Structure 1
Amino acid sequence: MKAIVIGAGKVGYHIAEQLARESNDVVLIDTSDQSLAPAREALDVMPVLGNGASPAILEEAGVSQADLVVAVTTHDEVNIIACLTAKYYGVPTTVARVRNPDYTLPTKALMHGQIGIDLIIHPERLAALEIVKLLKTPTAGEVGFYADGRIQLLGIRITSSNSSIVDKPLSQLGPRNFLVVAISRDESLMIPDGTSEIKLGDYVYVIGRTGDVEGSVFLAGRIPNEIKTVTIVGGGETGLRICEILSEHHEEGLSIKLIEKNPEKAIWLAERLPKVLVINGDGARMDLLQSERVNESDALIAATGSEEVNLLVAMLGRRLGAKEIIVLLGRQEYAALADTIGVHATVVPRILTASTILKLLRKEKLVDLSFLKQGEAEVMEVVISDDAPVAGKELRNAGLPRNSLIGTIIRGAEVIIPHGYSEIRPQDRVVVFAEEDAVPRVQKLLGL
C-alpha cells in the first residue's frame, strides 16, 4: 500500500513509523526540513519538503498512486484542503485531523463524508472520552473495551505487598476470571508466560469479561474510590469536552469544578457549562489548589495545553493528597516522569489519534486497535478468516512469537479465557497482545 502522511510532527511521525514498519510505501510531507530530519534518519520513508495541500507537492509525492492520505498538520484548513485535493486525484481513503469544532459539527454545508474526507479525527475529543472512561474505573491507569463492550482490559499498578499475586509465578495463581497479558517493569514492557512473576511496583495489564475483570483492581492492594467530585485544571478544548460529558451525570450526584487561568475564557466557560463550578485562577499554584480543597476531590485532572504545567499540577495535587490524578500529555516520553510523581493515569492524544487511523487502514479484518504503554505494544481485536494461518490450530501450535499472546477468544455469545489447548476457529474474534517487534509476524499469522 502507498500512503502519504502530511505533517511530520509527533502524530505524523508515529503514523508514518507504524505504516513503514508494516512494509508500506510511505511518503512524509512537511514544510519544515527540521521536522523531517528525525524521520529521514530513523524511518524507511520518503521525505518531501513542501506544503501538503499543494497539488504540485502532492504530485511529487505520487498522489495519483496513493491508497491513503493522512493530513495531521497543526492547521485544520491545510488538512482539509489536502484531503479534498487527494480525493480529486482519486485517493480511496483520506483522513484529516481537525481541532476546530466549527469544522466538525454535522451540518449540511460540511459533512465530511460528502466533501471528500473519509475520517475526521478530533484529538481533544478522543482524549476527553479516554479520561472519562478512566474515571469510571478508579485505580486503573488504562481502560479498554473489546467485543462490543463484553471484554475489558485494565492497566493496574501493584502498590502493596499485600496483593495476592506478588512474587508468585502466574501458573500458580489458579483459575481466575481474568488473564495477565502484559507486565511493565523498569520502563520496559513484556508479554508474560506461566513462569513470569509479578513484583511490587509493576504495572500489570489484565483482561477478562467486563464486570468480572473489574474485581481485579483489588489486586493492586488498594480499594478504589467512588468518583463523586472531580476537579479539572485547564479550560481548553479537552477540559471543555470532559466537563460536557461529565455534566450528563450531574443528576447522579457528580460534582464538577473547572479551574481556568484566563478571566475572559472563565466567564465564557461559566456560561457554556451551567452544571459546572468554574473558578478563575492559576491551577498550578499551591495556594489556589489548597483553597479549592483539591485534597477532598475524588479525582484531579490536569488538562491544560502545557504538559509541563500539567505535571506541576499533578505534583502539587499529589502533595496535597489528591486521591486519583490523571494527566494529559503531549509526549509519551513524559509518562515515566508522571509515574515517579505518583500520577495514576496519563493520556496522550497522539497515541489515540494514531490508533484510530491505523484501525481504519485494517478495517476489513481488524475490529479494534490500541496501544499499551504509549506504543510499546499493540492490542488487536481480529476476526479470524478461513484462510488465516492460525485457523483450526491450538494456541500451543499456532506459531505465535513468545512476546505475544491471545488474551481472549469470542465465539458467538461465548467469551473464552484461553490456554495452550484452546483452538482458534474461523470467524472467532480474538484479542491479541504483541510487543512492537512481534507485530508484523502476528499480523501474518492472523491473516491481516
Structure 2
Amino acid sequence: MKIIIAGAGAVGTHLAKLLSSEKQDIILLDEDEERLESLNSNFDLMTIVGSPTSIKGLEEAGVKSADLFIAVTPDESRNMTACMLASNLGAFKTVARIDNYEYLLPKNKAFFKELGVDSLIYPEMLAAKEIVSSMKMSWVRQWWEFCGGALILLGVRIRENAELVNTTLIELGANEIPFHIVAIKRKQETIIPRGKDTIQLDDIVYFTTTKKYIPYIRKITGKEEYPDVRNVMIMGGSRIAARTAQYAPEYMNIKILDTNIERCNRLSEALDNKILILNGDGRDVDLLLEEGIHNTEAFIALTGNSETNILACLSAKRLGVAKTIAEVENVDYISMAESLDIGAVINKKFIAASHIYQMMLEADVSNVKCLTFANADVAEFIVKPDAKVTKKLVKNLGFPKGFTVGGLIREGEGILVNGDTQIQAGDHVVVFCLNTMIKKIEKFFN
C-alpha cells in the first residue's frame, strides 16, 4: 500500500514510524528539511521536502498512485486543502486532521466527501472521550467499549489485595469464569497469555467481559474501596480540557486551572457556567489544598509539557487523589510514567494513529485501539461470509502466537470465546495482538 503522510509533526512522525515497520510504501512530505533528515536515515521510508498544498509538491510525492493520503499538519485549513488537491490529483482515499468539531457532524460528511476529503480525525476530541471513559471507572487504567458496550475491555493494575495474585490462567479456567484475560503488561514486557502464565503483583491485566460482570472483576482485583469519581480537577486549559469538561457526565463537578488569564477567560465564555475556571498553577500545593484536593477523586494534567503533567499527577497522588490521568505526548516518557505508577496516560499520537490505522486494513474493521501502556493493539473485526474464521472451531484455526480472541458480539449480545466456539459471518470479533501483527491476522477475517 502506498501511503503519503503530509506533515512531519508529532502525529505524522509517529504514524510514519508505525507504518514503516510494516513494510508499507511510506512517503513523508514536509517543508522542514531538518525535521525529515533523521527519519530518512533511521526508518524504511522516503522523505520529500515540499508543501502539501503545492500541486507540484504533491505530484513529486507521487500522489496520483497513492492508496491513502493523510494530512496531519498543525494547520486544519492546510490539511483540508491538501486532501482536496490530493483527491483531485488521483489519491484513492484521503484523511485530514482537524480541530473544528462542527466538521464532524453527520450532516457534513457527504459535503466533505464531495470536496475530496473522505475522513476527518480530531485527536483532541478522541482524547477527551477516552479521558471521560476512564473517569467513569476510577479503579480502571484503560476502558474500551465494543458495539455500544456489549463487550468491555478493562485494564487493571494488580495490587496485593487482589484475589488473582500468583494465580495461573489454568487455575482460573478450572471454574467457569465470566471474563477472558487477553493481555498482561509486566514491566517493559507485553504478554499475550497462555494457560501456564501467572498473574503477578503490579501487572496491568487486560480483561474482556460483559457489563453484568464488571462488579465481579472489581471484587477479584481488590478495587472495591476505590471511590467513584464525583469531583474532578483539570490542570491546563487546552482543547482536550475543554472537550473533557463538555463530555463529562452532569454528576461530575469540574474545576479547570490554568496559568494564562486570557485562556481562562476564553474557557469561561465557551463552557457551561457549572464548570469552575481558576487562574492558577496546578502544581501549587497550597492552591490545590485551598480548592479541595482532599475531596477530589480525579486529577487530570493536560498542559503541553509531559514532564509537568507527570510530576503534577505524582503530587496529586501524594495528596490522596485516587485517580490521576496525565497527557504524555513524549513517547519516551510513557514507560517512565508507568514505572512511577502515576495512573492512566493519554497520548494523542497513539489515539490518532489507531484511528487512521484501521483505514489501511483490508478486512472490515470498525475499531482499532493502541493500548497506551502495552505494546499491543485491540481491533474489532466484522466477519465476512466464507471468511477463514468461519470454517473451523477457534482451537483449530491455527492463530499465530502473540494473538488471542477476546470475545465476540452476535446480534448485539457479548459472548466470551473459548476453543470450542464457532465464529459466524456477521459476528463482531474482538482480537488482541502484539503491535504490527494486525496485518498478519486480518486474512482470517476476509
TM-score band (shorter)? over 0.9
Change in CA separation of 1:63 and 1:438 when aligned onto 2, cut-off 3 Å:
closer
Match for residue 396 of structure 2?
Answer: 397
Normalised by the length of structure 1, the TM-score is 0.92
Do the aligned residues in 2 keep the contact of 1:295 with 1:323 (CA within 8 Å)?
no
Q: Is structure 2 residue 265 aligned with structure 1 residue 267? A: yes
Deviation digits for residues 130-172 of structure 1 (CA, Å, limit 9, x no counterpart): 1001111111111111133201001100122x21111111111
Q: Is structure 2 residue 305 aligned with structure 1 residue 306? A: yes
Match for residue 225 of structure 1?
Answer: 227
> d(CA) in 2 for partners of 1:397 and 1:106?
42
> d(CA) in 2 for partners of 1:20 and 1:338?
26
Unaligned runs of 5+ in 1: none
Do the aligned residues in 1 keep the contact of 2:11 with 2:352 (CA within 8 Å)?
yes
Match for residue 200 of structure 1?
Answer: 201
Local SS of the residue matching 2:90: coil
**Matching of residues 87-126 of structure 1 within 5 Å:** 87-99=87-99, 111-126=111-126
Q: Which deviates more, 112-121 or 100-109? A: 100-109
Match for residue 433 of structure 2?
Answer: 434
Structure 1 residue 351, shift from structure 2 partner:
0.9
Do the aligned residues in 1 keep the contact of 2:231 with 2:253 (CA within 8 Å)?
yes
Q: Which deviates more, 226-235 or 268-277? A: 268-277
Q: Which deviates more, 165-174 or 214-223? A: 214-223
Do the aligned residues in 2 keep the contact of 1:351 with 1:375 (CA within 8 Å)?
no
Match for residue 40 of structure 1?
Answer: 40
Change in CA separation of 1:401 and 1:108 when aligned onto 2, cut-off 3 Å:
closer
> d(CA) in 2 for partners of 1:107 and 1:193?
46
Q: Which AA in structure 1 matches 2:297?
A: D
**Matching of residues 291-440 of structure 1 within 5 Å:** 291-362=290-361, 365-373=364-372, 376-440=375-439
Match for residue 72 of structure 2?
Answer: 72
Deviation digits for residues 164-195 of structure 1 (CA, Å, limit 9, x no counterpart): 11111111112211111000001211100111
Structure 1 residue 291, shift from structure 2 partner:
1.9
Match for residue 166 of structure 1?
Answer: 165
> d(CA) in 1 for partners of 2:78 and 2:69?
13
Match for residue 24 of structure 1?
Answer: 24
CA-atom RMSD in angstroms:
2.3
> d(CA) in 2 for partners of 1:8 and 1:196?
41
Percent identical: 33
Match for residue 444 of structure 2?
Answer: 445
Match for residue 283 of structure 1?
Answer: 282
Deviation digits for residues 234-268 of structure 1 (CA, Å, limit 9, x no counterpart): 1111111111222xx33x3x221111111122223
Structure 1 residue 331, shift from structure 2 partner:
2.4
Structure 1 residue 440, shift from structure 2 partner:
3.2
> d(CA) in 1 for partners of 2:255 and 2:51?
42
Do the aligned residues in 2 keep the contact of 1:178 with 1:213 (CA within 8 Å)?
no
Do the aligned residues in 2 keep the contact of 1:103 with 1:110 (CA within 8 Å)?
no
Local SS of the residue matching 2:378: strand
Do the aligned residues in 2 keep the contact of 1:393 with 1:425 (CA within 8 Å)?
no
Q: Which AA in structure 1 matches 2:149?
A: G
Change in CA separation of 1:164 and 1:271 when aligned onto 2, cut-off 3 Å:
same
Normalised by the length of structure 2, the TM-score is 0.92
> d(CA) in 1 for partners of 2:214 and 2:38?
41
Which among 231, 241, 244 is matched to residue 243 of structure 2? 241
Local SS of the residue matching 1:148: helix
Do the aligned residues in 1 keep the contact of 2:134 with 2:140 (CA within 8 Å)?
yes
Do the aligned residues in 2 keep the contact of 1:206 with 1:213 (CA within 8 Å)?
no
Match for residue 82 of structure 2?
Answer: 82
> d(CA) in 1 for partners of 2:260 and 2:204?
37
Q: Which AA in structure 2 matches 1:19?
A: L
Local SS of the residue matching 2:244: helix
Structure 1 residue 29, shift from structure 2 partner:
1.0
Q: Which deviates more, 170-179 or 261-270? A: 261-270
Q: Which AA in structure 2 matches 1:220?
A: T
Structure 1 residue 399, shift from structure 2 partner:
1.2
Q: Is structure 2 residue 253 aligned with structure 1 residue 255? A: yes
Local SS of the residue matching 2:227: coil
